[in-house]
Amino acid sequence: MEKLTYKDAGVDVNEGAKAVKLMKEHVKKTFTQNVLCGLGGFGGLFELDLEGYKKPVLVSGTDGVGTKLKIAFLMDKHDTVGQDCVAMCVNDILCQGAKPLFFLDYVATGKLKSEHIADIVKGIADGCIDAKCSLVGGETAEMPGFYSDGEYDMAGFAVGIVDKEKIIDGSNIKEDDVLIGLPSSGIHSNGYSLVRKLFFDTLEWKVEDYIEELGCTLGEELLKPTRIYVDVCTKVMEKFSVKGMVHMTGGGFYENIPRILPKGLGVEVDLGSFEVLPIFNLMQNKGNMETKEMFSTFNMGIGMILVVSKEDAKETMEYLKGLDERAYMMGRVTSKEGVHLCQK
């Protein structure tokens, strides 16, 4: 009987070592003076700077990219989905008022390709830099027989910090407070099972097809990375009293907005107050989808919603304009529970 090796079983440790070497330059770009470790340790070390915090609270969040990864496989482009992974995590903890501190990732694949892993980590590092947090560790798992060749899955984990008295939980939201929407960069990372069914199964389009309405290929549009809102929202929170924040993820308007509302309150959303991105109009028309289905599944062009008092709304909008942010005063809080789409 021949001597078996790990490589015979489908795991190439040399390729793994090459991947670590390639990703190091990207990871190091995210390090701040708080990071007390290099790449390759058993744990990531991050020194907390608690100056200015009376009662510091750690806020954590974890998420993945979902079936959007299928688009990366089809295009053989892997350097942006890492940003999606970071965005899904840091935007969530941002909604509690947290400042992101550090991030960890997990990537699992059937057969490890070092260049692909390096590209994925580059996207993660780019996202961490955008979110002003450090990538302090991760795991790359090679699992032959578990994933198809050329495919992988990924997830991330973010930790942030907020002073206890500054936690944003929506508890002081009241009637007539104003919803301010910040634009998304596209579909972000939710609803891709429906997206793929429409474009690839029903319409039989290809990722390389140029779509006039989008001004780019279908693949380029679908692979646009999720926007990270840390910088703009942090600046707003430092200047104004933000009562609630909504990261527009899976479940769209109908599931996400009620998550921050006190019992007995709802919202009116003015459909004419913000720009619905062309990709959503295209999907609704080609898929013959009802408006409620669209707003129950997708962000429709709004990636983050801030809730502020009626008195602060105008000044907040002016401040956002000064930051070159195209914000929308898109609705208000009402005494009627639920999410109500209105055409004024």
Per-residue pLDDT, 1: 62
Per-residue model confidence as pLDDT tens for the chain (344 residues): 667 777 766 777 787 778 777 778 888 889 989 999 777 778 889 999 999 899 999 999 999 999 999 999 999 999 999 999 999 999 999 999 999 999 999 999 999 888 999 999 999 999 999 999 999 999 999 999 899 888 999 999 999 999 999 999 999 999 999 999 999 999 999 999 999 999 999 999 999 999 999 999 999 999 999 999 999 999 999 999 999 999 999 999 999 999 999 999 999 999 999 999 999 999 999 999 999 999 999 999 999 999 999 999 999 999 999 999 999 999 999 999 999 999 86
Per-residue pLDDT, 93: 98
The residue among 220, 233, 27, 44 whose CA lies nearest residue 126 is 27
H-assigned helices in the chain: 13-28, 69-75, 81-94, 114-131, 192-196, 218-222, 230-239, 252-256, 278-287, 291-297, 310-322
The per-residue DSSP string of 175-222 comes to TT-EEEEEE-SSSTTS-HHHHHIIIIIIS---TT-EETTTTEEHHHHH
The residue among 15, 234, 26, 28 whose CA lies nearest residue 124 is 26
**So what CATH class is 178-342?**
alpha beta
19 close to 118: Cβ distance less than 8 angstroms: yes
191 close to 303: Cβ distance less than 8 angstroms: no
CA–CA distance, 213 with 210 (Å, rounded to integer): 9
Q: Where are the domains of the chain?
A: 7-166, 178-342
208 close to 198: Cβ distance less than 8 angstroms: no
CA–CA distance, 314 with 332 (Å, rounded to integer): 13
The structure's pTM equals 0.94
As beta bridge partners, residue 179 has: 307, 331
Which residue matches tokens 């407070």? Answer: 177
Give φ, ψ of 48 to 5 degrees: -80, 130
Burial of 147: CB neighbours in 10 Å, binned 0-12, 13-18, 19+: middle
CA–CA distance, 77 with 96 (Å, rounded to integer): 33
Instruction: Specify the DSSP class assigned to residue 306.
Output: E
Asked whether the domain spanning 178-342 has the same topology as the one spanning 7-166, the reply is no
Per-residue pLDDT, 239: 96
Question: What's the CA dihedral at 14, 81, 25, 231 to 10 degrees?
Answer: -160
Assigned CATH for 7-166 = 3.30.1330.10
Per-residue pLDDT, 99: 97
152 close to 76: Cβ distance less than 8 angstroms: no
Per-residue pLDDT, 14: 80
